[in-house]
Amino acid sequence: MTATSAETIVRPARARTAADSAGVRRGQGFQHGGWFVAPFLALFALFVIWPLLRGLYLSFTDANISGDSANFIGRDNYSEALKDPLMWDALGHSAYFTLLVVPCITVLALLLAMLAHHIERGKWLWRLCFFLPFLLPSTVAANLWQWLFNPGTGMVNHVFGLETPWLTDKSYAMLAVVITTLWWTVGFSFLLYLAALQGIPAHLYEAAKLDGANAWHRILHITLPMLRNITGLVIALQILASLQVFDQAVVMQDFGPGPEDSTRTFVQYTLEQGFTSYRVGYASAISIIFFVLIAAVALARMWLLRNREEGGR
């Protein structure tokens, strides 16, 4: 395999046949393929698979944070979780957040991308402006908006002439988190849309123009259909990320659960059970429930995609 240059020169040129390259692929690949994936799989096994299995095991015990003296208690954690109103509340808050954020971000990102794509001058400047907030740590974005929303000294009420108690009233607290998140994360989806827009062949638009289609028709009949795949991806990524919201909600409420517990998210509740109440077994059980929910969402998406493809387009 480590052919010296002399050997390479001396070796007669071989004709390439299908069997030849298949043999190359199978013979060498069989041994080496495993080594290529091994480093990743080792990390993956240690920090993804093992915690998952361990969580599953712990969820049937009454383990505390120190890890010793865990007793097997069967399904108790699960039956307790299903009757736990705080868990359902937390799940509701995460779902409410997701329902508000996902449609807003998708539409906003698309509009911003179309704007940035069609302005001919200073493209890099628009890109920078819309993407900039995403470059801040979530905690910084949250602190910044926590202060913008501050009723007395904050700029939001000042600019709009409001007296809204954004952070201390339960009907506004989650809304404040949603607005922060939109500002902070829309740049990522914006970038995906922008890249997709640049990938649409220009000749499609030129042909449509020749056929007399106006700008609105071109958007409706070329741009939007061509962006269908990327929209699916944006929505899927946003749903998975939004269900896991934690940072903004917790920082904006000074690490508390918000007014009348209204911004306590599912992740926050899990960590409270594990690290504040030291109930690792119970925390593991609700983590597993959460994992199953996330997996269900992801599988539903895969299933929908497959059906759409098989259903013929």
CB of 99 to other proteins, least distance (A): 18
In the complex with other proteins, the residue whose CB is nearer, 89 or 127, is 127
CB of 262 to other proteins, least distance (A): 20
Binding residue (CB under 8 A) for other proteins from 67, 74, 161, 311: 67
Site for other proteins in 281-300 (CB under 8 A): 283-284, 287, 290-291, 294-295, 298
Site for other proteins in 136-155 (CB under 8 A): 136-140, 142-145, 147-148, 152-155
CB of 256 to other proteins, least distance (A): 12
Site for other proteins in 213-232 (CB under 8 A): 229-230, 232
Binding residue (CB under 8 A) for other proteins from 10, 12, 19, 39: 39
Binding residue (CB under 8 A) for other proteins from 6, 8, 69, 85: 8
Total residues in contact with other proteins, by rule CB under 8 A:
113
Which positions from 72 to 111 touch other proteins by CB under 8 A, shown as an x/- string? ----------------------------------------
Binding residue (CB under 8 A) for other proteins from 47, 99, 209, 224: 47
Q: Is 52 in the site for other proteins (CB under 8 A)?
A: yes
Binding residue (CB under 8 A) for other proteins from 79, 110, 121, 181: 121
DSSP letter string, the chain:
----HHHHHHSPPPPP-HHHHHHHHHHHHHHHHHHHHHHHHHHHIIIIIHHHHHHHHHTTB---TT--SPPB-TTHHHHHHHT-HHHHHHHHHHHHHHHHHHHHHHHHHHHHHHHHHH--S-HHHHHHHHHGGGGS-HHHHHHHHHHHT-TTT-HHHHHHT----TTTSHHHHHHHHHHHHHHHHHHHHHHHHHHHHHTS-HHHHHHHHHTT--HHHHIIIIIHHHTHHHHHHHHHHHHHHHHT--HHHHHHTTTS--GGGTT--HHHHHHIIIIIS--HHHHHHHHHHHHHHHHHHHHHHHHHHHHHHHT--
CB of 275 to other proteins, least distance (A): 7
